[in-house]
Structures are given as structure tokens and as C-alpha cells.
């Protein structure tokens, strides 16, 4: 039931958030074991870049994948990738999740990595 409610909240949020090439949408997805994030350009329907706890860069850190610390580091990694592509500003799409815990840690990591929301 909660997954259905989350999807409803996500659709409600998505009515207002649109990513562009200059200011893409930073989307978060949580599962029980991993956290995933993508930068999306909605105008061209393209994923610009992505990062998760399954990526090589993250695995080299040797951090457990289910913690807030893992989400924080994924945020820092996506920020680094975005800055390498020349993207400094994003729209944060929490995908219907509450803004606390892992989602907040990911956002804090991205902000500390240099992204502006």
C-alpha cells in the first residue's frame, strides 16, 4: 500500500518539476539494499548521468550500502559527475519519499559536493 501512495505523491510532485539541459532533475530511488540517483533532461527525455551504491566508484570506498553514510557518498559522487559535465544547478526530485534519513543525506552530500538546488 505504501508503494502506491509514494507513486501518487511522486506524480503530484512531477507536475511541477521539469529538468532541462542547464538545470536537470536529480531523481532519487531507494530500495531496501541500495540507493540510486540520476540526472535527467526532461526536454529531450535523456538520462545525463547516474550513480548508485552499485557503481564502481562507490564500491571502491568500501562502505556498507544500506546506511545514511552510503547515501551521503552517492550524493557527493553524483555532484562530482555533474560538475565534470559543467552542471552546477539541479532540481531535486525526492520521488515521493519523505525528506529525511537517506534522502536527506544524499541531498546534503550533493550540496557539499558543489551542486546548488
Task: Quick: pLDDT tens for 24-71.
Answer: 999 999 999 999 999 999 999 999 999 999 999 999 999 999 999 999
Per-residue CA distances from 103 to 12, 71, 75 (Å): 18, 7, 9
Domain assignment of residue 117, yes or no = no
At residue 2 the predicted structure's pLDDT band, cuts being 50, 70 and 90, is confident
Assign residue 32 the CATH number of its domain.
Answer: 3.30.420.100
Domain assignment of residue 23, yes or no = yes
* Contacts for 47 with CB less than 8 Å, ≥ 6 apart: 38, 39, 40, 41
Q: Is the dihedral of CA 40, 90, 59, 105 positive or negative?
A: negative
Q: Domain range holding 58?
A: 2-112
Average pLDDT, the chain: 94
Domain assignment of residue 98, yes or no = yes
State how many domains the chain has.
Answer: 1
CB 49 within 8 A of CB 39: yes
Amino acid at each position: 500500500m505504501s508503494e502506491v501512495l509514494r507513486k501518487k505523491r511522486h506524480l503530484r510532485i512531477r507536475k511541477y518539476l521539469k529538468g532541462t539541459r542547464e538545470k536537470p532533475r536529480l531523481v532519487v530511488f531507494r530500495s531496501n539494499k541500495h540507493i540510486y540517483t540520476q540526472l535527467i533532461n526532461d526536454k529531450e527525455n535523456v538520462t545525463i548521468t547516474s550513480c548508485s551504491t552499485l557503481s564502481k566508484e562507490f564500491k571502491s570506498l568500501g562502505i556498507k550500502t544500506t546506511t545514511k553514510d552510503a547515501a551521503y557518498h552517492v550524493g557527493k559522487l553524483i555532484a562530482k559527475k555533474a560538475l565534470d559535465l559543467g552542471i552546477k544547478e539541479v532540481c531535486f526530485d525526492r520521488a515521493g519519499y519523505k525528506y529525511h534519513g537517506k534522502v536527506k543525506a544524499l541531498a546534503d552530500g550533493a550540496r557539499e559536493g558543489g551542486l546548488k538546488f
